[in-house]
């Protein structure tokens, strides 16, 4: 089968389209023919070695995590799924088996059925981006109706999902984005929009119950003046100094700092499927590309030149 592979850390030039063996499902696993893979920043962060402190994928590694497709084979002891069933999910890339491949084999705890109402592009766009937003707002911050939340990177895939979720909860939303995306962020539910090109939200006097730093554009020390006394700051790029800040915050104040790294499971995917099928989360699909265009797309993502999800469609 064809897959986009890298053997060592580096820029997008280390990626190449290769012929690799078909993955066979082990006990408790299914084999899925990938219809669409969706790219995420975590893909180039793993490929470049930016996340090596959290683990290094076994190499040669196939890039990519998120996908949607159709089950083609069942491993021993698999129940609840059938060959031909549409599913979506997120591969654990540490074993070297990513989603930018014609087939994947993975445990059933990493997949969920795709609702009939969702296209493969939409389903594949959900796990990492919308899953991060859902975990952060509902499971960590426990965002409530009427609370004030600020979301950085509000036009990105994670931030836009967070805006839509916060809107459905009934929170008071301030989104931070660039000039070109102000109207989009307002259209998906933000009450106020800060254009970071002309304004600095850190200098404003507003205070928030939750700051979801989806763009990882600040630090807890710089953002805490914008938090309420019991406010929570969540950052999606858990660098070591953030863990130290979280420890100090627990000892010295009622404010909380949470370095966040997503862990996907079937329950989370099922919640995302329900939200998407109900049009509470509507991913913005920026472009659909072929497998050979993945290296260039990862470069554009790393340079901040993509808008919406980049989906890889398999023929």
pTM for the whole structure:
0.95
Indicate the pLDDT class of residue 82, thresholds 50, 70 and 90.
Answer: very high
pLDDT, tens digit, for every residue of 185-243? 999 999 999 999 999 999 988 999 999 999 999 999 999 999 999 999 999 887 777 77
Other CB atoms closer than 10 Å to residue 17's CB: what's the count?
15
Q: In the block, which residue shows the tokens 């059933």?
A: 108
Total structural domains within the chain = 2
**Residue 273: inside a domain:** no
The answer on 206 and 240 residing in a single domain is yes
User: What are the angstrom distances between the C-alpha of 59 and each of 7, 63, 284?
Assistant: 5, 10, 32
pLDDT, tens digit, for every residue of 245-287? 777 777 788 999 988 889 999 999 999 999 999 999 999 999 9
User: What CATH number is attached to the domain comprising 105?
Assistant: 3.90.180.10
Taken as a whole, the chain contains a residue count of: 315
Q: How far is CA 50 from the centre of its chain?
A: 16
Could you write out the DSSP letters of every residue in 8-25? SS-SGGG-EEEE-PPPPP
Q: Give residue 260's pLDDT.
A: 83
CA separation for the pair 139, 135 (Å, rounded): 5
**Residue 161: inside a domain:** yes
| Residue 29 contacts residue 109 (beta carbons within 8 Å) | no
| H/E element, 208 | strand 208-213
b/e 202-224 (16+ beta carbons within 10 angstroms → b): beeeeebbbbbbbbbbbbbeebb
| Residue 149 contacts residue 208 (beta carbons within 8 Å) | yes
The answer on 133 and 92 residing in a single domain is no
pLDDT, tens digit, for every residue of 59-79? 999 999 999 999 999 999 999
The answer on 96 and 142 residing in a single domain is no
In 39-155, the DSSP E strands lie at: 61-62, 66-74, 86-90, 103-107, 111-113, 148-152
The answer on 59 and 146 residing in a single domain is no
CA separation for the pair 92, 104 (Å, rounded): 11
| Upstream peptide bond of 177 is cis (omega within 30 degrees of 0) | no
Q: Which domain holds residue 308?
A: 2-125+283-313
Indicate the pLDDT class of residue 292, thresholds 50, 70 and 90.
Answer: very high
The two beta strands, 227-235 and 256-259, are parallel
Residue 90 has pLDDT above 80, yes or no: yes
| H/E element, 246 | helix 240-252
| Residue 211 contacts residue 235 (beta carbons within 8 Å) | no
The answer on 133 and 252 residing in a single domain is yes
**Residue 274: inside a domain:** no
User: What CATH number is attached to the domain comprising 181?
Assistant: 3.40.50.720
The answer on 142 and 45 residing in a single domain is no
Other CB atoms closer than 10 Å to residue 83's CB: what's the count?
11
Indicate the pLDDT class of residue 100, thresholds 50, 70 and 90.
Answer: very high
Mean pLDDT of 26-41: 97
Q: Give residue 164's pLDDT.
A: 98
| Residue 31 contacts residue 103 (beta carbons within 8 Å) | yes
Low-confidence winner among 35-44, 116-125, 242-251, 306-315 (lowest mean pLDDT): 242-251
**Residue 102: inside a domain:** yes
The answer on 116 and 84 residing in a single domain is yes
Long-range CB pairs of 243-251, under 8 A, 24+ apart, other chains included: 245/219, 245/220, 245/221, 246/220, 249/220, 249/224
The answer on 151 and 183 residing in a single domain is yes
**Residue 6: inside a domain:** yes
Q: Give residue 159's pLDDT.
A: 97
Task: Give the mean pLDDT of the chain.
Answer: 95
**Residue 14: inside a domain:** yes
| H/E element, 300 | helix 294-302
């Amino acid at each position: 089968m064809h897959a986009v592979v890298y053997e060592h850390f580096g820029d997008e030039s280390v990626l190449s389209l290769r012929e690799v063996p078909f993955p066979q499902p082990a006990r408790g696993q299914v084999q899925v023919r990938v219809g669409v893979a969706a790219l995420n920043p975590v893909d180039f962060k793993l490929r470049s070695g930016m996340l090596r402190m959290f683990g290094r994928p076994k190499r040669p590694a196939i890039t990519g995590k998120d996908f949607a497709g159709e089950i083609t084979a069942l491993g021993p002891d698999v129940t609840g799924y059938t060959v031909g069933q549409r599913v979506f999910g997120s591969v654990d890339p540490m074993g070297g088996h990513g989603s930018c491949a014609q087939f994947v084999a993975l445990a059933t705890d990493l997949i969920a059925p795709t609702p009939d109402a969702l296209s493969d592009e939409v389903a594949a766009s959900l796990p990492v981006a919308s899953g991060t937003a859902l975990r952060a707002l509902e499971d960590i911050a426990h965002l409530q109706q009427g609370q004030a939340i600020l979301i950085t990177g509000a036009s990105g895939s994670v931030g836009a999902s967070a805006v839509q979720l916060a809107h459905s909860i009934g929170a008071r939303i301030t989104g931070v984005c660039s000039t070109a995306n102000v109207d989009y962020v307002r259209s998906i539910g933000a009450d106020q929009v800060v254009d970071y090109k002309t304004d600095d939200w850190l200098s404003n006097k507003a205070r928030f119950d939750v700051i979801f730093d989806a763009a990882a554009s600040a630090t807890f020390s710089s953002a805490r003046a914008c938090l309420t006394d019991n406010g929570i700051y969540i950052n999606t790029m858990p660098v070591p100094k953030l863990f130290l800040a979280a420890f100090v915050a627990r000892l010295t104040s009622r404010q909380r700092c949470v370095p966040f790294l997503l862990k996907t499971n079937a329950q989370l995917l099922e919640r995302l499927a329900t939200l998407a099928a109900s049009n509470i989360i509507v991913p913005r699909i920026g472009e659909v590309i072929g497998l050979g265009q993945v290296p260039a797309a990862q470069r554009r993502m790393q340079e901040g030149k993509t808008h919406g999800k980049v989906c890889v469609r398999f023929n």
